[in-house]
């Protein structure tokens, strides 16, 4: 079975990662790629792909996508995404949206982003974290791909929710490679700013805070207070999220994780601290935890562009189209 | 006034940083440098210093130091340090020890390091954090230079101690450049391990935990529970310590910091998140804090080799010898 | 058709790269992996591969290899390689040797390495650069995999040999990522030595000089003088070789390259300077050239672990076993 | 004796490096700093300098500079520099220009840059390479600070000019850290482009080619042909220039260098390959050379922002004002 897929906003990093995986996907054929300007070839933007994928980006055209695609991956900025998604959904095109536009409840979205222009579809959107939401994704026409930081954070915290003393805030110190900041050149992505440096940004106020909070509260069915502070690191790809939480009673954290993820091929539980190179280039999430008394430290590593965006999008699309979820999901890291 | 100073264990990174500053110090003259092997010149080990400082390292000889030095900086591994310090102190040589040997109470030292061979001098040792302990350092013959992580952590937390809800553990996520791991080549310092990577190490169990805990309890006069997790970063120098704590009541954190450090020229309070490049090459500690409700995030940046070791040792030596504390302390960062 | 392959010396970087590709190879089944110590699992050495390839390394045992393998990849230090190859060849096992042991004429090998212990097989060894030697590789039982620097250098220079003024030495400035220096921890691979640094090493005297010279002379059928200077760069993988040569007459260098490599799917000719990220993770060699008068500059980029070693070994093995040469050769770079 | 100095274009990297050194200069007092926009404080642009130098940049005003400065450092783009220099020179302000505007003969400048708007002063401009031009700099009112690549290249090649076989082109492979590309954010300075990467840019056609050629021809008094190819490296600061040349007869290259630089405190001759960390943070130029037959390899390392721009500007200003040339020139590298 072959499905035609579009990649809208294919010129950015998550776009090119989607293309890289789709080239090896036996059931998804790239039928349409576009950007806002159009008229640039992927191999001009990414010489690495010359003689492999030399297609030219179209200027994003909704009618063309309706015609050419069974499913569209939207790798667009928030706000633009829902403007494109809305008519495509009306036309029956399945959507995996990599932006935040369909991830949150309306009131949270509007408090932290902007006025929502497609509340109708928002209410049926499914949050695309397969380990948590697989059954809903199967039936979804619209999947909101989680943010990178929330992916790593939720995968590490959800298993512990029943055991946490939620009268205390969850403290989350996150670290990401620079590819997470996108392709645009500005002072935070200038080599001289990042090299040999590390710093927090948007401490406490980062939009991924509300996404993490909302999803944890949905599962815990109680209020969850948290402090989330991201940092930029001088690496290209990779994300490490460290959480500091309190338990109600002592537990064996590795056992909790192993039980929760017993049948999950893409979550690995480690007895030594995880590192991002072991997952860079893959869909894996590696998780480590250590307890002392009721204090629990959890460390979670993913590839921010893959598990944090594009490979998770492929996983979601696989599920939506009734395919084996693991098809084309990369497993072999870029090591050494 | 000129004093003769020895640098014992001068071949490592903290040793060469001491030499770099001492070369510009108007009152300290380098009278003796040594390592365990001896017979290597500093400029052979560090070609950067050729034609600037071509002295040859002696093989460490206690009698020679007694003869040649008014004060000795010990840049030795723990255990070796106290073996060298003991006879020198007996002979009236002042000591600034960069190891952990004299930092802790006897029971804590022996629980986390090894049997102490100089408990007599240990009880008179002064913990060398000038902003906290200046008066004691003035009268000390033996100063225990704080660990790098504890320096950054204590400078950021001590001002808040009166306001913290210590029924909740302090969560401390620390990040350091690789120079902190020392000159020795092993897998954790191999370029291929570190580059493009980040990971926690010794989570919760790192020896600097007990140092931080002991000093906070000394000042707070109550028990302090904490979780300390260090990480290695792909940078050479620099240290960022992020603390996540709970307050008893809301306060203005920047005001608390500014009041506490009002007269401290080497602590800068920042209203934007700090970064390590702004302090790399200097004795500065930059601190940022942000509060939400009773949750407080504090971020503290230092140069791990300088404020975290060698420039703080120079500051302590200045105080011990009755000099202006700021002499020869570097202020101009290595930026851009 | 399935062949059983052994990877001898599988614990190093080229060994793990071989394993990564073999896992995806439809015709090669890994039947035996070993190291000198044995008894370590690949996923303990490389946590990235846990739950993907958890095999345990055997202690290298010639009899076992004879029994279990149709072809063996030797990722061993020079000298050890020929000691292992010799009995395996006698027993009819095909060999792809990644060391220098079978690359050179006897007199060159002995001048630059050590006494050769298997001159009998040496004389039938085939130099494994497919674009140049494909027909001989097809018939070979023993292929000597080229060195990394020679691969990038020869691919860029051989097309120009008929046009070069060989009365002038070829000047070759090469740059490599640190993975080329191997897994062993010593001062040249210490993070602090490499980070923020660049330097030449073994200028003029590097062993790859003689390999480049010998192969160029073999093709040109005249003496070739050259200066080869390698450098270490603060990157993990990637190799750039820049050559500065004189032509007999002006030519169109891109045309020469395009003609020479017209049917070569893994050599790409570029009209803008090449970069190593575009080939990192792949078997590609990207080549750029620019002429001014009779002066010619050629720049060639490869992944030092893949095209410079392991993927070229797979290509050679494919050819030796009569398979499609391109099977399992990686094409999708690790970008962004 | 105290002189008032202006830094025009003080917001860029070379500007801030000038300020860092001027703060420690006993005879130069910073009397005026400006940028094209004005109204930004140095410590806002460079938080590292807060509480050290909090001055506000003026919007560049010629009349104000005439009034306030004895000497002005111009850290401006080419073309803008001469527009500022011209009226200041008329008013008797001494000028050290860090741009290319006064470095070349009129015809070369106009061939490679743009139409010259101040040919009158151009003809009296002195090229500011002290080791070569000290006497002329002493009498100059206008010094053209050399380009970074030309500084490292000329210092390494000039000593060998009498011995070179100039019937062959000089082949020059240069490598620079990213700070050389300036503060502006564009794709070549994006962290993701540079990290883990290396590539040539403007091969053969870079403007520094003509500067190197012109100066060598001036000294050699014969035509000099050369190929100059710069590369960007994933480091912030540092420059390595490797030259591949032919000699007329064999010589001892280290002897030639040691003789030539016998009395030069800021050029160090090394018997092992040089590296950029040994000079980063200093005014030093380290040079290594190795010969085989008549083939000569020379490697030269400098800090591109210091010896390649700002510290050389300070050296020139010291000479112009009749001071000890070495005042305030940094000597202690940023190692480890």
Identify the pLDDT of residue D8.
98
What 3-state DSSP class applies to D127?
A: strand
pLDDT digits (tens, 9 = 90+) for B131-145: 999 999 999 999 999
Q: What is the ipTM of this complex?
A: 0.97
**CA separation (Å) from D163 to A90, D220, D225, D248, D257?**
79, 10, 15, 6, 12
Question: Mean pLDDT across the stretch A47-71?
Answer: 97
pLDDT digits (tens, 9 = 90+) for B271-288: 999 999 999 999 999 999
Judging contacts by C-beta atoms under 8 Å, the chain B residues touching residue D305 are 336
Tell me how many degrees the CA angle B34-B35-B37 measures, rounded to the nearest 5.
125
pLDDT digits (tens, 9 = 90+) for D167-183: 999 999 999 999 999 99
Q: Round the average pLDDT of chain B to a whole number and report it.
A: 97
Indicate the domain borders of chain D. 3-145+309-320, 149-302
Q: What DSSP character marks residue C109?
A: H
Report whether D31 contacts D4 (CB < 8 A): yes
* CB contact (8 A) between residue C24 and residue A49: no
Residue C43 sits at the chain A interface (C-beta within 8 Å): no
Question: Mean pLDDT across the stretch C22-34?
Answer: 98
Beta bridge pairs of residue C287: C269, C300
Rg, Å, chain B Cα set: 19
Identify the pLDDT of residue B38.
93
Residue in C34, C27, C28, C30 with CA at minimum distance from that of residue C11: C34
* CB contact (8 A) between residue C334 and residue A334: yes
Confidence of residue A46 (pLDDT cuts 50, 70, 90): very high
pLDDT digits (tens, 9 = 90+) for B172-216: 999 999 999 999 999 999 999 999 999 999 999 999 999 999 999
Question: Mean pLDDT across the stretch D304-325?
Answer: 98
Q: Please enumerate in sequence order all residues whose Cβ is within 8 A of that of A212, keeping only pairs 6 or more positions apart, or say none.
A: A149, A150, A153, A154, A157, A172, A226, A228
CA distance C78 to A37: 54
Confidence of residue C249 (pLDDT cuts 50, 70, 90): very high
Identify the pLDDT of residue D196.
98
Question: How many CB pairs below 8 A link A and D?
Answer: 54
At the top level of CATH, the class of B3-145+309-320 is alpha beta
Residue D26 sits at the chain C interface (C-beta within 8 Å): no
Identify the pLDDT of residue A219.
97
Active site residues of D: 148
* CB contact (8 A) between residue B178 and residue C189: no
pLDDT digits (tens, 9 = 90+) for C285-301: 999 999 999 999 999 99
CA distance D231 to D203: 9
Q: What percent of chain C has pLDDT over 90?
A: 100
Question: Mean pLDDT across the stretch B111-131?
Answer: 97
Judging contacts by C-beta atoms under 8 Å, the chain D residues touching residue A236 are 191-192, 195-196
Confidence of residue D301 (pLDDT cuts 50, 70, 90): very high
Report whether A324 contacts A315 (CB < 8 A): no
Q: Round the average pLDDT of chain C to a whole number and report it.
A: 97
* CB contact (8 A) between residue B48 and residue D282: yes
Judging contacts by C-beta atoms under 8 Å, the chain B residues touching residue C13 are 192
Identify the pLDDT of residue B317.
98
CA distance C150 to C215: 9
- What is the H or E stretch that residue C143 is in? strand C142-144
Partner residue facing B236 (CB), from C189, C192, C236: C192
Question: Mean pLDDT across the stretch B48-54?
Answer: 96
Selected residue of D186, D190, D191 to mutate for chain A interface (largest A Cβ count, 10 A) = D191
Q: Which CATH number fits domain C149-302: 2.60.40.420, 3.40.190.10, 3.30.360.10, 3.40.640.10?
A: 3.30.360.10
Judging contacts by C-beta atoms under 8 Å, the chain B residues touching residue D45 are none
Selected residue of B166, B173, B233, B272 to mutate for chain A interface (largest A Cβ count, 10 A) = B173
Report whether D35 contacts D65 (CB < 8 A): no
CA distance D159 to C46: 51
CA distance B160 to D95: 52
* CB contact (8 A) between residue A52 and residue C336: no
Residue B119 sits at the chain D interface (C-beta within 8 Å): no
| pTM beyond 0.90 | yes
Name the token pair of D178.
């990213």
**CA separation (Å) from A35 to A118, A207, D186?**
21, 25, 20
Quickly list H helices, A95-147.
106-112, 119-122, 130-138
Judging contacts by C-beta atoms under 8 Å, the chain C residues touching residue A258 are none
* CB contact (8 A) between residue C190 and residue B194: no
- What is the H or E stretch that residue B267 is in? strand B267-270
CA distance A159 to A257: 6
Question: Mean pLDDT across the stretch A60-68?
Answer: 98
Question: Mean pLDDT across the stretch A48-56?
Answer: 96
Confidence of residue B229 (pLDDT cuts 50, 70, 90): very high
Starting at the earlier edge strand, list the strands of the sheet with B226-232: B199-200, B226-232, B170-176, B239-246, B295-302, B285-292, B267-270
Report whether A287 contacts A298 (CB < 8 A): yes
Active site residues of B: 148
Residue B305 sits at the chain C interface (C-beta within 8 Å): no
Q: Which residue of C has its CA nearest to A304?
A: C336
Q: How many other CB atoms are there within 10 angstroms of residue B92's CB atom?
A: 9
Starting at the earlier edge strand, list the strands of the sheet with D142-144: D58-59, D28-35, D3-8, D71-74, D94-97, D142-144, D126-127
Q: What DSSP character marks residue B60?
A: P
Question: Mean pLDDT across the stretch C244-258?
Answer: 98
CA distance A26 to A199: 42
pLDDT digits (tens, 9 = 90+) for C143-198: 999 999 999 999 999 999 999 999 999 999 999 999 999 999 999 999 999 999 99
pLDDT digits (tens, 9 = 90+) for C61-70: 999 999 999 9
CA distance D21 to D88: 23
Identify the pLDDT of residue D146.
98
Partner residue facing A275 (CB), from B199, B238, B244: B199
* CB contact (8 A) between residue D48 and residue B270: no
CA distance A249 to A239: 29
Confidence of residue C238 (pLDDT cuts 50, 70, 90): very high
Confidence of residue C109 (pLDDT cuts 50, 70, 90): very high
CA distance B240 to B233: 10
Q: How many angstroms away from the CA of C200 is the closest CA of chain D?
A: 6
What 3-state DSSP class applies to D36?
A: coil
Burial bucket for residue B193 (CB in 10 Å: 0-12, 13-18, 19+): buried
């Amino acid at each position: 079975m072959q499905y035609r897929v579009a990649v809208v906003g294919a010129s950015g990093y998550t776009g090119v990662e989607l293309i890289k995986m789709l080239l090896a996907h036996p059931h998804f054929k790239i039928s349409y790629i576009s950007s806002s300007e159009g008229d640039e070839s992927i191999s001009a933007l990414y010489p690495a792909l010359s003689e492999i994928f030399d297609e030219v980006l179209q200027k994003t055209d909704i009618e063309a996508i309706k015609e050419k695609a069974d499913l569209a991956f939207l790798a667009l900025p928030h706000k633009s995404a829902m403007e494109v998604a809305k008519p495509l959904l009306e036309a029956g095109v399945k959507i995996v949206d990599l932006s935040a536009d369909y991830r949150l409840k309306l009131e949270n979205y509007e408090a932290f982003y902007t006025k929502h222009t497609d509340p109708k579809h928002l209410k049926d959107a499914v949050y695309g974290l397969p380990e948590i939401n697989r059954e809903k994704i199967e039936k979804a026409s619209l999947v909101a791909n989680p943010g990178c930081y929330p992916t790593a954070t939720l995968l590490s915290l959800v298993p512990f929710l029943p055991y946490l003393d939620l009268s205390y805030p969850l403290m989350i110190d996150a670290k990401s490679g620079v590819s997470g900041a996108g392709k645009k050149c500005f002072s935070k992505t200038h080599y001289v700013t990042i090299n040999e440096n590390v710093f927090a940004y948007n401490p406490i106020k980062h939009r991924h805070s509300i996404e993490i909070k909302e999803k944890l509260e949905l599962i815990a069915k109680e209020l969850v207070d948290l402090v989330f502070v991201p940092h930029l690191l001088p690496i290209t790809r990779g994300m490490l999220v460290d959480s500091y939480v309190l338990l109600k009673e002592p537990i064996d954290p590795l056992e909790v994780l192993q039980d929760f993820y017993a049948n999950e091929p893409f979550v690995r539980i480690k007895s030594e601290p995880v590192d991002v190179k072991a997952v860079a280039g893959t869909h894996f999430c590696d998780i480590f935890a250590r307890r002392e008394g009721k204090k629990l430290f959890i460390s979670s590593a993913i590839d921010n562009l893959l598990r944090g965006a594009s490979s998770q999008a492929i996983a979601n699309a696989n599920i939506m189209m009734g395919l084996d979820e693991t098809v084309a999901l990369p497993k072999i890291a870029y090591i050494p």
